[in-house]
Amino acid sequence: MDVQKIMVVGAGQMGSGIAQVCAMAGYDVFLHDLKQEYVDRGLATITKNVTRQVEKGRMTQEEKESILNRITPSIDLNNASNVDLVIEAVVENMEVKTSIFSQLDEIAPEHAILATNTSSLPITEIAAATKRPEKVIGMHFMNPVPVMKLVEIIRGLATADEVYQTIEDITHKLNKVPVEVNDFPGFVSNRILMPMINEAIYTLYEGVATKEAIDEVMKLGMNHPMGPLTLADFIGLDTCLYIMETLHEGFGDDKYRPCPLLRKYVKAGWLGRKTGRGFYTYE
């Protein structure tokens, strides 16, 4: 299947990163969100990222301009009537995602593939909100998207082989590494990562060590580039909690029970870097 036009739904941290790498790979991209201010913020992030590449000598001014010219802002979902692929990157909430997929199913051309950047939710359930489950697939990018190489590609129960192959080929064109994963809660990345972060929060909660000590042990002892509590702040504690709840509900196993301290921080609005306070305080 020949994909030339892509719509990214959601202009936040993940969506703007996905739009950037798609434009850098030569695709025409609609960057869509509910409000113009959200789209503008996403475009500002992309502009800042590619400007930095020019300053470092990794990209010419002409290349930067042509990348930005390939991105069209959108606040009208009907723009999906003109694309070959939609990549959804909105909040990690099943009701929101199924509502968007149901609308996209009505708007997007019959041949269009509908992909979701969900980090933990079942692809099969999202696909069931459409009349084209064979064309629905998971395309889970890592954060920050322009830097991280991995894309988990997740087939739903009905995903067609041709659709999988198309998405794998596109992932290579984006200069990413595709890894095929089956449709289980949390897939591979978050099924392993989030319980580790949750356990780090338990060690803090139980007074085993300070937050700095816990992060230092994992950085120096396990060679992790950042400690689990710093990483949790970077991801967003609300996102960490939501994924742990998805794992807990999906497997029905108490080993995935979210730490009470994680719940308390989220209720306090201490969500990490994005709110200026999580396990650490940010200026």
Is 76 part of any known ligand binding site?
no
Look at the chain and report how many structural domains it folds into: 2
In a domain, 207, yes or no: yes
Same domain, 122 and 32: yes
pLDDT computed for residue 84 by the predictor: 98
Pick left, alpha or beta for residue 223 (phi over 0 → left; psi -120 to 50 → alpha; otherwise beta). left
Per-residue confidence (pLDDT) for residue 96, from 0 to 100: 97
Let me know whether 139 and 83 are in one domain. Answer: yes
Number of C-beta neighbours around residue 140 at 10 A: 23
Per-10-residue mean pLDDT for the chain, 283 residues long?
A: 96 97 98 98 98 96 97 98 98 95 98 97 97 98 96 97 98 98 95 98 98 98 98 95 95 97 98 97 93
pLDDT on residue 1: 83
Q: Which residues of 163-189 are buried (b: 16+ CB within 10 A; e: fewer)?
A: bbebbbebbeebebebbebebebbbeb
Please indicate, yes or no, if residue 283 is contained in any of the structural domains.
no
How far does Cα 106 stand from its chain's mean position? 24
Statement to judge: residues 194 and 165 lie in one domain: no
Q: What is the pLDDT of residue 283?
A: 84
10 among the known binding-site residues? yes
**78 and 152: one domain?**
yes
pLDDT of residue 49: 97
The model carries a pTM of: 0.93
Q: Are residues 124 and 195 in the same domain?
A: no
Asked whether residue 142 falls in the same domain as residue 228, the answer is no
Q: Answer whether residue 242 is part of any domain.
A: yes
CB 135 within 8 A of CB 112: yes
Catalytic residues: 119, 140, 152, 190
For residue 13, say whether it is annotated as part of any ligand binding site: yes
Query: Which domain CATH number covers 203?
Result: 1.10.1040.10
pLDDT the model gives residue 263: 98
* Last residue of one domain, picked from the residues 181, 210, 231: 181
Q: What is the CATH classification number for the domain harbouring 158? A: 3.40.50.720
Residue 116, strand partner residues: 88, 138
Which of 147, 181, 215 is at the close of a domain?
A: 181
The answer to whether 92 is annotated as binding is yes
